[in-house]
């Protein structure tokens, strides 16, 4: 079956540091890949998505590239801000459902 | 426009009580999903509707869990005889297209946090 493995947190970074959150997946078929973000006290929000191999999703300075050869979809940002503090979920769009990773908590300190 | 809404936002129930959680999807969205998110975990799929038809209920943890969407819009997740292990956040999501496509983005509501004492 489908599964998503992402690095466990928490991740603590200083403001303006470079961020990488690793995500790998196992899937049948040709899934879409997503990153969702959950800010404190709020619901899940779609951050970015990629629908096929070599696609790059990007939003709010975050990027992730769909790598079929390494079955990965790592999230990156060149310079994080305090406002990026949240829980980030890597997810895989399968038939009729989305499979989520465990979530990685990011804390950015000034 | 309005997003997915859920009510109540918080629910405290005594063990053995029945609860009903409501989801209002984005208007016009064909597909509706329920997920359960335990503390410190990612959301886990419970069930899926396409319009009023429940096409997949493989994630429902027991026969105490029941979901319906009688008119193809609002959905209710009912939990009978609640147990402490049912304590979690219950998330509803909707997407525009039916058919279970791999590509479609799901839009999530804020969730209902259920605490069973």
Per DSSP, the three-state class of A16 is: coil
Q: Is A69 on the interface with B (CB under 8 A)?
A: no
Mean pLDDT of chain B: 92
pLDDT of the residue at B1? 55
pLDDT of the residue at B100? 57
pLDDT of the residue at B99? 58
pLDDT of the residue at A9? 84
Span A60-101, pLDDT tens digits: 999 999 999 999 999 999 999 999 999 999 999 877 788 999
Cα–Cα distance between A48 and B55 in angstroms, integer? 27
Q: DSSP strand E in B16-99: where?
A: 19-24, 31-37, 44-50, 53-56, 65-68, 75-79, 88-95
The structure tokens listed for A4 are 């998503």
B residues 50-69 closer than 8 Å to A (CB): 55-56, 59
Across the interface, do B102 and A95 touch by the CB < 8 Å criterion? yes
């Amino acid at each position: 079956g489908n599964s998503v493995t992402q690095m466990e947190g928490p991740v603590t970074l200083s403001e303006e540091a470079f961020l990488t959150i690793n995500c790998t997946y196992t899937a049948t078929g040709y899934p879409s890949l997503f990153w969702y973000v959950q800010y404190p006290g709020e619901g899940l929000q779609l951050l970015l998505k990629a629908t096929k191999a070599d696609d790059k999703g990007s939003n709010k300075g975050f990027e992730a590239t769909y790598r079929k050869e390494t079955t990965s979809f790592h999230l990156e940002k060149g310079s994080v801000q305090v406002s990026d503090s949240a829980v980030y979920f890597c997810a895989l769009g399968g038939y009729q459902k989305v499979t989520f990773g465990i979530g990685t908590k990011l804390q950015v300190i000034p | 426009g309005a997003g997915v809404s859920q009510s109540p936002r918080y629910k405290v129930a005594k063990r053995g009580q029945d609860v009903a959680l409501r989801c209002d999807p984005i208007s016009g969205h064909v597909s509706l999903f329920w997920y359960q998110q335990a503390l410190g975990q990612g959301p886990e799929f419970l069930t899926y509707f396409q319009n009023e038809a429940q096409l997949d209920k493989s994630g429902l943890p027991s026969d105490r869990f029941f979901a319906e969407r009688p008119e193809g819009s609002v959905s209710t997740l009912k939990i009978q005889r609640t147990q402490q292990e049912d304590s979690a956040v219950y998330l509803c999501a909707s997407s525009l297209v039916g058919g279970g496509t791999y590509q479609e983005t799901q839009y999530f509501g804020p969730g209902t946090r259920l605490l069973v004492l």
